[in-house]
Amino acid sequence: MSRILAILKKEFLQMRRDRLTLGMVFALPLFQLLLFGYAIQTEVKHIPTAVFDQSLSAESRDMMEAFSASGYFDVYYSTGGYAEITNMIDSGRAKVGIIFPPDFSENLKKGDTATVQVLVDASDSMSSSTAIATANAIGLLKSQKIFIQKAQLTNLPYDIRVRPWYNPDGITAYYMVPAILGIIVTMTMVMMTAVAIVRERERGTLEQLMVTPIRSFELMIGKIVPYIGLGYLQITVALLVGALVFHVPIRGSLLELYVLTLFFITASLGLGILISNIAKNQMQAFQMSFFVLLPSIMLSGFLFPREAMPLVIQYIGDIIPLTYYLVIIRGIVLKGIGFPYLVSQVAALLVFSVVLVTLSIIKFKKKIA
């Protein structure tokens, strides 16, 4: 215990004096979030929109003005009828088609629901989701009933309820901020611990350590634990940026988020420390970190939905800690769900942590060469 404490204390002192690294811990979430957040948040505006107005009424024009005024739609009044609208969408000249039936105005006046048909080019997911969300919002506002159908699915009327459930306003930052947080934390944790052992090997202090009575597990624990605090610090910064800049609401329990995050931090640290035990020098450690971090970004469901990936790729994603953490943090932050729904993810992260740290302890030998 005295030996673990000695390592802990030393690591803390070294961490505190390493201004550059500390700066990174704070700056990374700040800049990454602002950068990613704003880049991804740029919602699609000025969607070319073709309108076939069969009712030619004041009410239909009023509605289209609302569409135009939203800034999301550039409205073009078609004279060529239904055929022209579909043709424009097929050829890509329009992303959205809006069709007012001839009896639109009459129905409204009679007090019946007036339906508007909205066609959306679903091949462009960005503009289609924006269009759907906005059309819905305007439709609701105007108390009209809107049928939305994707152009690719022939005439399947879309219900209002297609709107993205957990993110009704279509603001992608909501969805991205928690995920970016996961990326940043795993990146920092892996990179920092990846050099923890090799750096001492290169500086020659490891040889000195090997001659002391320190045990392998004491060294590994002592090297990992201080970074847990750093991980929490970073998450706090990221959550604050998310809340203050992007107004990401945290629907679930903050306490629960912090507790469950522990297993993600330890899994990332375990990965880093294992790399540190395998790498011959710091350069190799960096390269290996990139090698494991890249799949984390690509395959974890951070950028692309995992459901859309081939099965083999999904299996690879299954052995990445971030995959599980994304479910946890999106679940808690966006859906407000709690631990009972996340047991399997937490269990997976726990297994990662234990396996990775155990492998490191076994791998580390108090021998040179």
Partner 1 sequence: MDNAVITTRELTRTFGSFTAVNKISIEVGQGEIYGFLGPNGSGKSTTIRMLCGILEPTSGSGTVLGYDLAREAEKIKRKIGYMSQKFSLYDDLTVYENLDFYAGLYSIPHRERKKRIGEMIDMALLKGREDELAANLSGGWKQRLALGCAIISRPSILFLDEPTSGVSPTSRRTFFKIIQRLANENTTVMVTTHFMDEAERCYRIAFISEGKLIADDTPENLKNNVIKGTLAEVVHPNALYIIDDIEKLPYVKECSNHGPVLHVLLESENAIQALNYYTGVEAKIIRPSLEDVFVSLAKQNRRQVS
Q: Where are the alpha helices (DSSP H) in the chain?
A: 2-17, 19-41, 58-69, 81-91, 104-110, 125-141, 172-194, 196-203, 205-210, 216-245, 254-278, 282-299, 311-318, 321-330, 343-363
CA distance linking residue 220 with residue 267, whole number of Å: 13
Nearer to partner 1, 25 or 241 (CB): 25
Nearer to partner 1, 5 or 303 (CB): 5
What is the phi/psi pair of residue 361, to 5°? -60, -40
Nearer to partner 1, 308 or 368 (CB): 368
Nearer to partner 1, 53 or 218 (CB): 218
For residue 134, the minimal CB distance to partner 1 (Å) is 55
For residue 200, the minimal CB distance to partner 1 (Å) is 9
Q: How many CB atoms lie within 10 A of CB 135?
A: 25
Cβ neighbours for 197, distance < 8 A, ≥ 6 positions apart: 206, 223, 273, 276, 277, 364
For residue 223, the minimal CB distance to partner 1 (Å) is 14
For residue 187, the minimal CB distance to partner 1 (Å) is 24
CB 63 within 8 A of CB 18: no
Nearer to partner 1, 211 or 343 (CB): 211
What is the phi/psi pair of residue 279, to 5°? -65, 145
Nearer to partner 1, 10 or 145 (CB): 10
Cβ neighbours for 355, distance < 8 A, ≥ 6 positions apart: 270
The H or E element spanning position 119 is: strand 115-120
Nearer to partner 1, 111 or 213 (CB): 213
For residue 193, the minimal CB distance to partner 1 (Å) is 17
CA distance linking residue 349 with residue 351, whole number of Å: 5
Counting every residue, how long is the chain? 369
Chain Cα centroid distance, residue 247:
15
- For residue 158, what is the DSSP state? B
| Side chain identity, residue 326 | L
For residue 20, the minimal CB distance to partner 1 (Å) is 12
Nearer to partner 1, 214 or 354 (CB): 214
Binding interface with partner 1 (CB under 8 A): 2-3, 5-7, 9-10, 13-14, 17-18, 203-205, 207-214, 366-369
For residue 363, the minimal CB distance to partner 1 (Å) is 16
CB 189 within 8 A of CB 29: no
